[in-house]
Structure 1
Amino acid sequence: MRVKKQKRHRRAVRFYTACYGFREPFKILCDGTFVYHLLANGITPADTALANILGATVKIFTTRCVTEELRSLGDSYSDSVNAARNLITARCDHERRKNAAACITEVIGENNPEHFFVATQDAELRKKFQEIPGVPVIYALRNALFLESPSAVQHKFAKIAEEGRSHMTELEYKMLKVKKKRVDRKEACDALDMNDNHGDHQDLKRNDKPNRMVMNDKVQFKQKRAKGPNPLSCKKKKIKVNENSATGKELKNVDGSVRNRSRKRKRSKKNQFASESSGGV
């Protein structure tokens, strides 16, 4: 039985988290009847007990009107008054004290903007919050706490909200049309630029001698052409005339006599002495 209850609670928490945006730590708004029941049945500490059924950390709130109502009930509720004072006070902005049910109803509002879990033992208040979408209700039976399953109204509202999120609003549709026009205009401009570039490319192909002033993207290199021969290499060599070549090996002296150019070999004394000694022997 306890396992089934935990599964039901986890399913309900996932529903409120996914469809209504509840986030941890969960905020629980208590009235005087719920605080009194916790103390009377020994369900303490309250934050631990509530965290166990929700499966996450919690923050417990109450209002100033709820505390004042408990104080007005007499000394028998003094423990409940002290416990309510230790809770976080939610802002209700009531100058005069109101009924606790009316105060909590105003704090919750039409769509529960603060994402409160309402904890109460008032049957009429629980039934009323079942008709308001996005308001989970917690109640107690003896020493056990329960989270009510989402009602048919809450399921229907969540389905309608999901269908609304899947479709575009009028503002989103207008923004999409404006963006589409911009994209179409840009594509048309790009197509015109491509056509112009293609036409210029064809004109360049038709001309045999393209204009040299047109700047090309590619680097152009000068072609090396054959040059003429080096003029210095083509110059004729001068023939040197030797003045002594006409006489050959003969040379003339100053007085006109012919002198033979060939010279006699001078032998050294050592060679002469060797030859004489060899002849004498």
Structure 2
Amino acid sequence: MRQRRAKLYRKMLHQYSLQFGFREPYQLLLDDTFSLALSRYKISDPLHQFSNILLTKKVKPLITQCCMQALYTLGKEHQSTVDMAKAWERRMCNHREAIDPQECIKQCVGDNNKHRYIVASEQGELRRDLRLKVAGLPMMHFTQAVMVLEPMSPLTRSKIEENEENKLSLPASETGLLKNAPKIDVNIIGASSDAADVQGETGEKGNEGDIAKQGGETLSTRRRKRKAPNPLSVRKSKNPRLTMEEKLKREQELKKQKQRAAARARMEASKISNPSSSNTTTTTTNNTENRAAGETRRRKPSESRTCKS
């Protein structure tokens, strides 16, 4: 089964379980026409096919005595279909004499499908009648040799919407109590109980200014306030949090860097203002280097004499 179809079936069965109380194992009620279709399409393991459609291995196939009697009347040509149907559980329909399988299925399902059956049939008229009369009834049939689960009927969808509205609405016992309750203006925040009592007696709304003077707050003033940003949506700071000792060390390093930069600036300023002093320093250094070189030259001959002796 394709992934998209399996997803639709899963959602549909989930709605049936929530709204109409379907539970595993699912009770699959088959008629004679569906049994013949299984034999015609050579489905040797129908339970495996049912499990693929209903997305669970907990499936209990059922067949009524009237449908079995209809299969018996077909003769020995369909003996394989009869043998396959005998392996399924027999649903007692309480009919002493066999009746039409369509009527038997309708009577077993009833008006509201209280036994939570899933009907599998190849008769279009039967499925059409059940779709129009019974809400919360899943149905299966074959489409070009493919077993499919029918979509929800309009009656079933309307029943689901009605159930949802009933969950949200108040019960009749509580709606009678609300008629005598005092009316309060929902646009006023922090309104006093006295204003609510007056409003309930007179049936008129109080003045917003008077209620605001008493300590109340209107919605308009409340919306003007600035709200803090969501802490989960704010980007985290890149700088890590430092301890007090680390902060002091960083401040001392910054202070030393500023002092060094100021000293360099002073040196450069002094060089620019007194260029002669810089020249004299260079000449003195050159003179000292020349003197040192002359002394080394004078010492070399004396060293050579000592070696000869």
Q: Look at both structures and tell me which one has the larger radius of gyration over its CA atoms.
A: 1
Separation (CA, whole Å) in 1 of partners of 2:84 and 2:101: 16
Which residue does 1:214 correspond to in 2?
none
SS in structure 1 of the partner of residue 113 of structure 2: coil
SS in structure 2 of the partner of residue 101 of structure 1: helix
Separation (CA, whole Å) in 1 of partners of 2:15 and 2:42: 30
Separation (CA, whole Å) in 1 of partners of 2:170 and 2:97: 45
Separation (CA, whole Å) in 2 of partners of 1:158 and 1:52: 26
Separation (CA, whole Å) in 1 of partners of 2:171 and 2:70: 46
Separation (CA, whole Å) in 1 of partners of 2:77 and 2:128: 28
| Unaligned stretches of 5+ residues in structure 2 | 179-309
Separation (CA, whole Å) in 1 of partners of 2:115 and 2:167: 21
Asked whether 1:159 is paired with 2:173, we answer no
2:151 to 149, 152, 159: 149
Separation (CA, whole Å) in 2 of partners of 1:162 and 1:64: 38
Separation (CA, whole Å) in 1 of partners of 2:109 and 2:170: 29
* Shift, 1:24, TM fit: 1.0
Separation (CA, whole Å) in 2 of partners of 1:6 and 1:29: 21
Query: Is the Cα contact below 8 Å between 1:50 and 1:58 reproduced in 2?
Result: yes
* Shift, 1:145, TM fit: 1.0
SS in structure 1 of the partner of residue 111 of structure 2: coil
Which residue does 1:32 correspond to in 2?
32
Question: Whose helix proportion is higher, 1 or 2?
Answer: 2
Which residue does 2:297 correspond to in 1?
none
SS in structure 2 of the partner of residue 28 of structure 1: strand
Separation (CA, whole Å) in 1 of partners of 2:7 and 2:122: 23
Separation (CA, whole Å) in 2 of partners of 1:130 and 1:3: 26
Query: Is the Cα contact below 8 Å between 1:42 and 1:143 reproduced in 2?
Result: no
For 1:38-49, what aligned pairs fall within 5 Å after superposition?
38-49=38-49
Structure possessing the higher relative contact order (Cα contacts under 8 Å, 6 or more residues apart): 1
The AA in structure 2 aligned to 1:115 is R
* Shift, 1:163, TM fit: 2.2
Asked whether 1:61 is paired with 2:62, we answer yes
| Unaligned stretches of 5+ residues in structure 1 | 178-281
SS in structure 2 of the partner of residue 60 of structure 1: strand
Q: Which TM-score applies when normalising by structure 1?
A: 0.58
Query: Is the Cα contact below 8 Å between 1:129 and 1:137 reproduced in 2?
Result: no
* Shift, 1:36, TM fit: 1.0
Which residue does 2:299 correspond to in 1?
none
* Shift, 1:157, TM fit: 1.2
Q: Which TM-score applies when normalising by structure 2?
A: 0.53
For 1:77-226, what aligned pairs fall within 5 Å after superposition?
77-131=78-132, 132-167=134-169, 169=171
Q: Deviation per CA, 1:149-201: give whole Å up to 9, x if none.
A: 1011110011112323444555x659x99xxxxxxxxxxxxxxxxxxxxxxxx
* Shift, 1:142, TM fit: 4.2
Separation (CA, whole Å) in 2 of partners of 1:20 and 1:166: 18
Q: Deviation per CA, 1:208-233: give whole Å up to 9, x if none.
A: xxxxxxxxxxxxxxxxxxxxxxxxxx
Separation (CA, whole Å) in 2 of partners of 1:161 and 1:76: 49
* Shift, 1:3, TM fit: 2.0
Cα RMSD after superposing both structures: 2.1
Which residue does 2:9 correspond to in 1?
9
Separation (CA, whole Å) in 2 of partners of 1:106 and 1:168: 36
SS in structure 1 of the partner of residue 44 of structure 2: coil
Separation (CA, whole Å) in 2 of partners of 1:111 and 1:72: 31
SS in structure 2 of the partner of residue 121 of structure 1: coil
The AA in structure 2 aligned to 1:123 is G
Query: Is the Cα contact below 8 Å between 1:26 and 1:59 reproduced in 2?
Result: yes
SS in structure 1 of the partner of residue 3 of structure 2: helix
